[in-house]
Amino acid sequence: MRTKRLKRTRRKQQGRMQRRRILRNNKQGMEMVQVAILVAIAIVLGLIFKNEITAFVNKTFEGLNQGF
């Protein structure tokens, strides 16, 4: 009787551990997806505002160079 109970308990524990591993892997996968989405958004914004960003950087460096 005790042996059967131990086997059942071990199976439950193994099932829980396996579910935890799956959930952890899912969370890591979701984090990677989130990072990829953020990088894609940054690239798209950079492409959309390329001219404005370039003008701002050039203006800033011209102002810095005039100070020296």
Give CA separation, 29 vs 18, 19, 34, 55, in Å. 16, 15, 9, 38
Per-residue model confidence (pLDDT) at position 1: 59
Q: Which two tokens stand for residue 45?
A: 């914004």
What's the pLDDT at 44? 96
In tens, the pLDDT along 15-65 reads 777 777 776 767 777 888 899 999 999 999 999 999 999 999 999 999 888
Token readout for 44 is 């798209």
pLDDT over 90 (residue 7): no
Are 46 and 53 in contact by the 8 Å Cβ rule? The answer is: yes
